[in-house]
Each structure stands twice: as C-alpha cells, then as structure tokens.
C-alpha cells in the first residue's frame, strides 16, 4: 500500500490533474513522450515476435546459466538497514511551526512542491507535483517555502545517530541512508529488528522526527522493506534464501529502485511482466531483447540479489546549477540569468573546494510559437513542432576553473554560440517561428580536487593541443569577434587569456558561415551594421591566409545558391552577391532578411490567390501579402530545421552537414540514434541501481 494513499479517490485525483494540466506545453510534451514510448514498446513486441523457437531456447539456456552464476554470488552474510525519514521536509516544517500539525501542508511553491505531509497526501497531493494542481486537489492546502538550511541541520542530527550504528553509513540523500548493521548486531547481541527499533527511537529523541526502516540482506531489498510499513514503522526480511525468494516473487517490479515508469511500462506491455517472479520466468526473453548489463540487472533483481559491500568513498563527479524562468528570448536577460547561475555555481564550488575544467551549458527551449496579429493568417493551423527540448553544449578547458568570472566567461561563449535561440522572421505586425528559452543551467565536471584553485596542467591532451597556431580557419572562442560578439557583450568577456577552443568538426561552421545560420541574423540584428560592415566582419572571420578554406567557401556557397534555387528558399547569404535593392532593404529594415515571395515559391495566381495554400488576398493587401509570404517561408524553414534537427542535433552539426551536402564530403554516416527509431536501450536506467544496490 502506498503510504498515505488510504482513502484517496484516485479517479477524482486523476480527473483533476488531467483537467488542470490539459492543453499545457508540459501536457503536450508528456503526450509526445508517451507516444514515443508506445512506439518503442511496439518495436520490442515486433522483435519479440521475430524470435524463433530455437532462438528462445538458446537465450533460455543463457539465462539459466546466468541465474546460476548470480546465485553463486548471493551474499547473506551482511545485514543492511535502510532508513527513510517520513515526509522529511514537511515534518521539519511542522516541528518549527506546530500550528501546521494536522493540516494539509506542502513544502514548495505554486510551480512545484517538494514534499507533502500525510494529511495533504490524502487529497492526492504528491511530491514533484506543481503547486497549482495541488491546490486544485486540496484548496485548503498550506504552502511552506523550502528552507534547505533547516533540513540540512536536521539531516546532520540524524547522521550523528547513524554514525553510532555504522561509522561508514551511506547517505543517499538528506533524508535517506543505508547502514551495515552486521557488526553492531553482533557486538551488542541484539537482533536486527531490535537495532532498527532502537535507532528509530534514538532519531526521534534527537530530532523529534519519525522515520521508517527496512532491514534485509542487501541494500536493494532494504530499500524496498523500508517502504512497507511507512510511516513510522519497520519491516525485517531475514537473511534466508527462501525468505528472500518468497518476498521478492510477488513484489511488483515498480517497487524496485531503478525501475521507473518507463521501464515498468516496457516490461509490462511488451513482455507481460509485472512481478519479479514473472521477470525470472521470462529471463530468456529478457536476455534475447536487452543488453547484457540490463538483462543481468533484471535477473539479479528477480533473485533478490543486491549489493552488500560498503563502497569506497565515491567522490562527486560534477556540480551544477540551473534555473527555470518564464520563456524568453531576450538576450540581455539570458546573459543576466547566466551570470546569476555562474555566481551560484561558483558559491557551491567554493563550498565544496572544487575546481573543474569541463563546463556544460544546458538550455531548455520552449516550442515554436505562432503569433500573428492578422486574422487572415490565423486561418492556417500550424502544429507546434518540438514542444520542449533540452540542448547541452560543453567545453573542456586546459585549466581548472572555479571563479564566477571564469565560469561566466566560458559560459557566455557557449551561450553566444547558440544565440539567437529563436528563428525569427519579424514582419511589421507578426512574429513567427520562435524558440524561447525556459531554463539555463551550468555544470562543471572533471574536478581537480588535489590542486584546488590553482591552474594546473592536466596530462591529458585537450583539443587545444591540436590547434595549429595561426590557423584562423578554426574559430577560437577566445576571440570575441570570431563569435560575432558585440560591444555590449564585452563586459562578459574580459580577461580573455584562457585557452578555449572547440572541436574541429564544429569549427568548420565558424570558418565558413552558413547563410541560413541564425547567427548571421544575429550579427545583422545586434550590430545594426550596414552591408559593408557585415562583409568586413565576414572577412575577419574568414581565414585570410588559408587558401583552401577560401576555395571551400566559394564552392559551398555556390552549392547553397543552387540548392536554394532548386528548393525555392530564399538565401540570406545572397545579400553578399545579390541585388542592391535587397541589400538596402536589409540596411533599412535590419530584420526582414527573408522577405521575398518568389523565393519561397509563392505566386499569386490570378493576382489574388496564393499558389501554396489557396488563400485569397487582394493585390492592395501589400503588407498582408508580404507577411503571408514570410509565413510560408517560416514554415518551410522550420520543416528544414526540424528535419536537420532529427538527423543531427546541434546547429553546428546541422551547418556542417549542410556544408557536407554541398561539398560532397566523405564523412562517415552516423548510425541512427535510439531517438531516430533505433532500438530502445534502457541500460542507463539501471546503471545507477546496479551501482547503488
């Protein structure tokens, strides 16, 4: 039974959650993800159907052998205790404000709640639920803001107690820990149940909080056990093989740490597996259709085998900070947010005494929006493309960094290379095709814990080692000009002494500018430059001493021109060779780069009917016609963009790909990723559980 779920009207909860979230971007995104999952399940079913009797027999033999091997590793010599604090954050808040006792309360805000007390859970309010939905479920719900300082304090109190029972206990989070109580049981001549009881009592005395405990021969099982008599209870699974097998056989797979919603769905719908016993019975099938490590995990789980060793101190591998905000494409704001995040990250780095050399920028983009002021345009329905997308861009530096200045410096370069996020076609009254940012995050990894703060010289070769000095075809991110940074960005880019470069396949993009690359638009928009300035800027970017690159540019550009002509797309790059009229227009409008009816293949049939969609618009609707044309172009570019996006993933790679198309490059073909319809790999789902349990 789920803790605190007694008396919950599940149907009512589901209906309210559905009605409240229906139509939101999040909801649409979830639906897309579910559709994708269904497709993957179908693929797995199809693969299963292809297996012959001989195949099945072969894999069953493999599974049987593996089961024997795993059985041989079963260790029943240790006693593990998993402690889980009951509704930790909420309980701490109630402790510091007793008037909350007995009232439905949640810790968090309107956008997200972290924990709900048991009174609130009876209304269906859960952790990781948006506050506004929680309030719909329970209008009298009291919201308490998160106060990590408080929780950390109480967490430390619990850890002092844990230490008495196992000095090497493993903290899984602020409110969870694993303890090996084998020795303490022996030393004090107490049963594991008695020790668990005493520990829980001690925690309650020290903190005033209650917790639940699970005792079992390994961590995987101990975790499952601590959930059984929650809250303020415990469950003991004795160290006996039969007891373990009986316990595990009827256990729903979802109760196992590492089997989440997706895995449960796959196992249930593709293989009819809902319990661990069924998982064991269908071991052959699992060996046939999953990777070795995944099948291994499934089999060991179904035998109730988990980790029993106390792992070496595992040091942290990365540290990150991210913030979500309301969707925006305001670059000044984005840089400001980035600066804030860099500050936060720096503070955390200093707290942990860490320095890292790989910086990763994470961007969450919102869907295309189609806003139009003209009612005529609203006659068309443009389905949103990708609803929410996460991009990450990383760079590995030669030196270790931890200061907010350094973090911001390199983070700004990464962000700059991504901007503008939006593919904008600004008409006078309309605003089409727009990506805006929902969140930014920064992560630092590759720590140098031995030499904190000091610039060091890692023995590993970095990409920088391969950059030939003076090879300007490789655009160095230390050169603000090479990224099209304007004066306003300079405040973010001082102290440019650090070496910072990017991979060669990406560099092509910088050396040879893609006429369709939005960064070009950025140059035009941000610099407010004239055509001449633009060409000058272009010259700076180009490898003046690199004849080969010059040739490539010519060839690629020519390829692009002919391609564009064939496809009927306009070519912003043509500005540099094209008609003076168009150049003037860019100088004047500074934004309507793409405007041209002919270029997107649109013709006004009989002078009033759009050849592409049939909408009728009289000749004197000048502006409307122009915008209508832009609209078709936006649609086309988006299709282009999403097609490229599904094949490659980064704008840089897209650009490179385009270059390759035109230059007939012999670059290797990429294997389809799982995203592109390949076999679903869920190894990663279990990596952590394998590690932890």
Partner DNA sequence: GGGAATAAGATAC
Partner DNA sequence: TTCCAGTATCTTATTCCC
Which listed residue (176, 331, 624, 635) is catalytic? 176
- Measured from the CB atom, is 373 or 460 closer to DNA? 460
Task: List phi, psi (to 5°) of 147.
Answer: -135, 85
- Measured from the CB atom, is 217 or 356 closer to DNA? 356
Secondary structure (3-state) at 630: helix
> Shortest gap between Cβ of 321 and DNA (angstroms)?
4
| Rama region for 130: left / alpha / beta (φ>0; ψ in -120 to 50; rest) | beta
- Measured from the CB atom, is 130 or 480 closer to DNA? 130
Quick one: tokens of 194?
């008695």
- Measured from the CB atom, is 59 or 686 closer to DNA? 686
- Measured from the CB atom, is 393 or 599 closer to DNA? 393
- Measured from the CB atom, is 381 or 671 closer to DNA? 671
- Measured from the CB atom, is 452 or 587 closer to DNA? 452
Output the CA–CA distances (angstroms, integers) from residue 99 to 93, 96, 113, 138, 292, in the order listed: 10, 9, 20, 18, 54
> Shortest gap between Cβ of 325 and DNA (angstroms)?
8
Distance from C-alpha of 508 to C-alpha of 511, rounded to nearest angstrom: 5
Residue with tokens 């502006």: 623
Distance from C-alpha of 230 to C-alpha of 258, rounded to nearest angstrom: 20
> Shortest gap between Cβ of 246 and DNA (angstroms)?
23
| Rama region for 4: left / alpha / beta (φ>0; ψ in -120 to 50; rest) | left
> Shortest gap between Cβ of 499 and DNA (angstroms)?
12
Task: List phi, psi (to 5°) of 167.
Answer: -60, -20
**What is the length of the chain?**
693
Secondary structure (3-state) at 162: helix
Residue with tokens 């016609």: 625
Convert 453-491 into a string of H (helix), E (strand) and C (coil): CCCCCCCCCCHHHHCCCCCCCCCCCCCCHHHCCCHHHHH
- Measured from the CB atom, is 164 or 679 closer to DNA? 679
> Shortest gap between Cβ of 121 and DNA (angstroms)?
15
DSSP conformational letter for 315: P
Instruction: Spell out the long-range contacts of 103-108 with Cβ–Cβ below 8 A and sequence spacing 24 or more.
Output: 103/140, 103/142, 104/138, 104/140, 104/141, 104/142, 105/141, 105/142, 105/143, 105/144, 106/131, 106/134, 106/141, 106/142, 106/143, 106/144, 107/143, 107/144, 107/145, 107/146, 108/143, 108/144, 108/145, 108/146
Distance from C-alpha of 140 to C-alpha of 138, rounded to nearest angstrom: 6
Distance from C-alpha of 612 to C-alpha of 598, rounded to nearest angstrom: 12
- Measured from the CB atom, is 336 or 681 closer to DNA? 681
DSSP conformational letter for 590: S
In sequence order, the 6+-apart residues with CB closer than 8 A to the CB of 507 are 473, 474, 475, 501
Output the CA–CA distances (angstroms, integers) from residue 577 to 581, 583, 590, 615, 667, in the order listed: 12, 9, 18, 33, 29
Side-chain half-sphere CA neighbours of 536 within 13 A:
6
> Shortest gap between Cβ of 276 and DNA (angstroms)?
14
Question: What's the chain's Rg over C-alpha atoms?
Answer: 30
| Span between the terminal Cα atoms of the chain, in Å | 23
Output the CA–CA distances (angstroms, integers) from residue 330 to 245, 276, 335, 419, in the order listed: 58, 51, 9, 10
> Shortest gap between Cβ of 439 and DNA (angstroms)?
5
Strand positions, DSSP E, 220-271: 234-236
In degrees, rounded to 5, the angle at the alpha carbon of residue 380 between the alpha carbons of residues 379 and 383 is 140
> Shortest gap between Cβ of 294 and DNA (angstroms)?
7
Residue with tokens 């078709």: 632
Quick one: tokens of 535?
């060409």
> Shortest gap between Cβ of 562 and DNA (angstroms)?
25
Distance from C-alpha of 326 to C-alpha of 328, rounded to nearest angstrom: 6
> Shortest gap between Cβ of 162 and DNA (angstroms)?
15
- Measured from the CB atom, is 107 or 425 closer to DNA? 107
Could you confirm whether 176 is annotated as catalytic?
yes
- Measured from the CB atom, is 130 or 427 closer to DNA? 130
Task: Output the CA torsion sign for 130, 134, 139, 143.
Answer: negative
| Rama region for 486: left / alpha / beta (φ>0; ψ in -120 to 50; rest) | beta
**Bridge partners of 179?**
81
> Shortest gap between Cβ of 333 and DNA (angstroms)?
15
Residues taking part in catalysis: 176
């Amino acid at each position: 039974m789920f803790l605190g779920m007694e008396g919950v009207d599940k149907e009512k909860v589901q209906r309210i959650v559905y009605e409240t979230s229906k139509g939101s971007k999040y909801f649409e995104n979830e639906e897309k993800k579910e559709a994708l999952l269904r497709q993957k399940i179908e693929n797995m079913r199809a693969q299963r159907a292809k297996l012959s009797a001989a195949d099945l027999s072969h894999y069953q033999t493999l599974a049987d052998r593996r089961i024997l091997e795993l059985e041989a590793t079963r260790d029943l010599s240790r006693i593990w205790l998993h402690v889980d604090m009951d509704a930790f954050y909420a309980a701490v808040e109630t402790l510091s404000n007793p008037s909350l006792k007995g009232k439905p309360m949640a810790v968090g805000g309107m956008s997200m709640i972290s924990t709900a007390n048991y009174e609130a859970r009876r209304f269906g309010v859960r952790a990781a639920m948006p506050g506004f939905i929680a309030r719909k479920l329970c209008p009298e719900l009291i919201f308490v803001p998160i106060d990590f300082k408080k929780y950390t304090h109480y967490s430390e109190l619990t850890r002092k107690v844990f230490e008495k029972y196992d000095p090497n206990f493993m903290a899984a989070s602020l409110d969870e820990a694993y303890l090996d109580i084998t020795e303490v049981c022996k030393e004090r001549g107490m049963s594991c149940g008695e020790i668990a009881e005493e520990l829980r009592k001690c925690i309650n005395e020290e903190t005033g909080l209650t917790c639940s405990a699970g005792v079992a021969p390994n961590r995987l099982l101990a975790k499952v056990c601590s959930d059984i008599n929650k809250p303020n209870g415990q469950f003991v699974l004795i160290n006996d093989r039969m007891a373990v097998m009986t316990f595990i056989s009827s256990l729903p797979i979802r109760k196992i740490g590492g089997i989440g919603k997706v895995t449960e769905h796959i196992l249930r719908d593709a293989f009819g597996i809902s319990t661990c016993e069924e998982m064991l019975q269908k071991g052959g099938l699992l060996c046939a259709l999953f990777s070795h490590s995944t099948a291994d995990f499934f089999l060991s789980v179904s035998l109730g085998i988990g980790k029993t060793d106390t792992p070496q101190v595992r040091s942290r591998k990365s540290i990150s900070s991210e913030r979500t905000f309301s969707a925006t494409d305001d670059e000044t704001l984005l840089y400001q947010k980035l600066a804030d995040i860099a500050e936060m990250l720096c503070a955390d780095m200093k707290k942990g005494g860490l320095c890292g050399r790989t910086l990763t920028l994470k961007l969450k983009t919102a869907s295309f929006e189609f806003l139009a002021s003209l009612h005529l345009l609203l006659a068309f329905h443009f389905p949103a493309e990708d609803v929410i997308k996460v991009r990450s861009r990383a760079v590995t530096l030669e030196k270790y960094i931890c200061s907010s200045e350094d973090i911001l410096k390199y983070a700004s370069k990464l962000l700059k290379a991504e901007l503008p996020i939006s593919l904008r076609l600004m008409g006078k009254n309309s605003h089409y095709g727009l990506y805006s940012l929902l969140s930014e995050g920064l992560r630092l990894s590759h720590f140098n814990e031995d030499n904190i703060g000091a610039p060091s010289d890692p023995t590993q070769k970095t990409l920088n080692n391969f950059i030939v000095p003076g090879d300007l075809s490789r655009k160095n991110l230390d050169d603000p000009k090479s990224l099209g940074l304007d004066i306003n960005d300079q405040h973010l880019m001082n102290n440019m002494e650090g070496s910072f470069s990017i991979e060669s396949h990406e560099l092509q993009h910088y050396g040879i500018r893609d006429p369709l690359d939005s960064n070009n638009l950025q140059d035009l928009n941000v610099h407010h430059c004239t055509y001449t300035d633009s060409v000058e800027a272009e010259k700076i970017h180009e490898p003046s001493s690199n004849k080969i690159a010059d040739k490539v540019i010519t060839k690629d550009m020519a390829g692009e021109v002919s391609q564009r002509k064939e496809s009927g797309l306009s070519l912003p790059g043509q500005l540099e060779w094209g008609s003076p009229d168009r150049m003037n227009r860019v100088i004047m409008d500074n934004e309507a780069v793409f405007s041209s009816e002919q270029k997107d293949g649109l013709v006004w049939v009989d002078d009033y009917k759009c050849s592409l969609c049939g909408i009728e618009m009289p000749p004197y609707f000048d502006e409307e016609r122009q915008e209508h044309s832009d609209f078709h172009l936006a649609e086309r570019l988006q299709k282009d963009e999403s097609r490229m996006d599904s094949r490659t993933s980064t704008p840089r790679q897209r650009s490179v790909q385009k270059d390759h198309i035109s230059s007939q490059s012999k670059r290797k073909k990429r294997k389809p990723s799982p995203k592109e319809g390949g076999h679903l790999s869920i190894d990663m789902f279990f990596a952590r559980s394998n590690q932890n349990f």
